[in-house]
Amino acid sequence: MARLSWEPFTELWREMENFRRQMDRLFERWGWEGFPMRWPTLTAAYPPINVWEDENNVYAEAELPGMGLEDLEIYVTGRNQLSIKGERKSPQVDKGTWLRQERPFGSFHRIVTLPVDVEADKVEARLENGVLTIVMPKCQEARPRKITVKAG
């Protein structure tokens, strides 16, 4: 059996592991079974998302390594609700022992409310090297308008 050491974070891991166990116990008591994700989602929404805007677009980015666009459902509803849905599958391992398992797997559904309305039918998404980028053009009304000041 190989021994892998993760110094100096072993201590931190132990702490996080303890916390996870406590959370698991808590959910067990509440009968929250079949929670689709492993511990990272117990404390954080998955996937983490960055959102930014410029004059014309709102951009959203998420890291989804190992996933393809066909594994994802991305849509905008109500003009400002961005929804990302999918399932990250764990690697197929027929034999062997897991020595370490840190990567999260399972189904997820994340909804983010955008501060401005966007053109739902013009939303574009691309996935490159496990990074999802979504470009959402702002509705005309949401774009800054240049106001011409007439000379009196």
Residue number, 1 or 151, with CB nearest to another protein: 1
Residue-wise burial string across 58-75, b where 16 or more C-beta atoms lie within 10 A, e elsewhere: bebebebeebeeeebebe
Listed in sequence order, the residues at least 6 apart from 19 whose beta carbon sits closer than 8 Å to its beta carbon are 43
Sites of contact with another protein (CB under 8 A): 1-7, 9, 12, 16, 40, 43-45, 48-55, 58-59, 61, 63-68, 90-91, 93, 95-104, 112, 114-115, 127-131, 133
Residue number, 100 or 150, with CB nearest to another protein: 100
Min dist CB 16 to another protein, Å, is: 7
Contact 110, 83 (CB under 8 A): yes
Residue number, 64 or 74, with CB nearest to another protein: 64
Min dist CB 25 to another protein, Å, is: 18
Residue number, 95 or 145, with CB nearest to another protein: 95
Min dist CB 141 to another protein, Å, is: 18
Min dist CB 149 to another protein, Å, is: 25
Q: What are phi and psi of 23, to 5 degrees?
A: -65, -45
Nearest to 125 by CA among 39, 60, 77, 67: 60
Min dist CB 130 to another protein, Å, is: 2
Contact 136, 113 (CB under 8 A): no
Residue number, 105 or 120, with CB nearest to another protein: 105
Residue 82: strand, helix, or coil: strand
